[in-house]
Structure 1
Amino acid sequence: MSAHPDRIAWLDTETTGLDETNGHLLEIAIIITDNELNEIAEPFSQIVRPATAQWKTVMNDFVTDMHTVNGLIAAIDDGEGAPLVQVEFDAVNYIHCHCGTEFKPMLAGNSITFDRVWTAHHTPALLAALHYRSIDVTSLDQFVTRSTSLESLNPDDTMPSDHRAVSDLRRSIAVAKHIRQGINGALAPQAG
């Protein structure tokens, strides 16, 4: 199936760590943009209620601290969220609602291979709703800063991360906009 001509699905997941085979998805967010990187709908964001009570045991200290500070552990402990099968179903419906079913939106995000691997393992129907091509903002930023005189375009100082999925997606979109502005400026015809 062809890529959607004017829809990009920005995806971010929060997880219990780096190991998708033994870990758990804790949050999934999607923002749909047009090609100009304008959000075309309210973001999709759902907390996943892990199926096992032992889900915290697979988190290392770094991840535990991160999800304690950002409130994700407390939210799950307080009963927020839905079973993964429901979150996946809702995410696929969100994509179909805003992108249709004739084309699949291209997948985008920061270090998107990480999210693609987790999605393939835990939510294959969600992955199937997305095009196989990706826009990886981290790779673009690394390529631009290593290949040109431009400095990093990552707005880390102005948009600190709280390691929650929607805010991380908005940071990814902001980086993509910075990269596009830098490339457009470098490619603009010079007066003279």
Structure 2
Amino acid sequence: MPGPLVWIDCEMTGLNHQTDNIIEICCLLTDAKLDLIERNGFERVIHVPKEKLDGMDEWCQTTHSKTGLIQKVLDSTNTAPQVESELLDYLKKHMSQREGILAGNSVHVDRLFLLREFPKVTDFLHYRLIDVSSIKEIGYRHNPMLMEKVPKKSLNHSARSDILESIQELKWYYDNYLTR
């Protein structure tokens, strides 16, 4: 039986994995049928200094202000090493090392941040990943008419809502594209 899918989404201070930071992370686990293994999952907001938030680009400033994430980051006392340890403990409760496969939309970007900030988590997970965005891009090139029917995203840009939408999107691909 295949191991669980480890859905991770991060909100960051920007997209430069060498200088920007994870400020929110959510992890949900599903089985091969994409059913949630554990409903609550793992969610944390990570504190970074106000100066780091002030240096974010306009898109991040606008989006993270609108969602309330900037204030949550300022109020948070969680550090990245602390959150890494807590996430690793959460994963160990549900799977063995190298059993879980990282999944998400453009999850390769999240993985770049995890490699720098949460290396113990990336070491624990399998080296493979499932990037839902790759399936979408193949679909647009292979069957563009079908892809017009893909459910639209809400674009809330919270880590949890992004993961739940990614799971629903992959379910849609299972039912409408990958089963043909």
* Fold match by TM threshold 0.5: yes
Kindly indicate whether residue 79 of structure 2 is the aligned counterpart of residue 83 of structure 1. yes
Q: Which amino acid aligns with 1:63?
A: C
| Alignment check: 8 A CA contact 1:8 1:35 kept | yes
Distance 1:10 1:152 in 2: 25
**Is the contact made by 1:109 and 1:169 (CA closer than 8 Å) also made in structure 2?**
yes
How far the C-alpha of 1:150 sits from its partner, in A, is 1.6
1:172 aligns with 2:170: no
Pick from 134, 142, 149 the counterpart of residue 137 of structure 2: 142
Residues 2-151 of structure 1 mapped to structure 2, 5 A cutoff: 5-41=2-38, 42-50=40-48, 52-77=49-74, 79-101=75-97, 103-148=98-143, 149-151=145-147
Structure 1 unaligned runs (5+)? 188-192
The one-letter code of the counterpart of 1:5 is: P
Cα gap change, 1:64/1:100 in structure 2, threshold over 3 Å: closer, same or farther?
A: same
**Matched residue count:** 178
After superposing on structure 2, the runs of 4+ consecutive aligned residues of structure 1 that deviate more than 3 Å are none
Distance 1:88 1:153, change over 3 A: farther
The question of whether the paired residues in 1 share the 8 Å contact of 2:8 and 2:102 is answered with: yes
Residue 169 (structure 1) shift = 0.3
Supply the distance in 2 between the matched residues of 1:49 and 1:172 (Cα, whole angstroms): 26
1-side partners of 2:20 and 2:59: how far apart?
15
Normalised to the residue count of structure 2, the TM-score between the two structures is 0.92
Three-state SS of the structure 1 residue aligned to 2:177 is helix
Deviation of residue 144 (structure 1)? Answer: 1.7
Cα distance in 1, alignment partners of residues 177 and 151 from structure 2 = 16
User: Aligned partner of 1:40: which letter?
Assistant: I
Answering whether residue 155 of structure 2 is matched by residue 161 of structure 1, we say yes
RMSD (Å) for aligned C-alpha atoms: 1.7
| 1:88 CA drift (Å) | 0.5
3-state DSSP of counterpart to 1:87:
helix
- CA distance 1:62–1:184, shift in 2 (3 Å): closer
Q: What 5-or-longer segments of structure 2 have no aligned partner? A: none
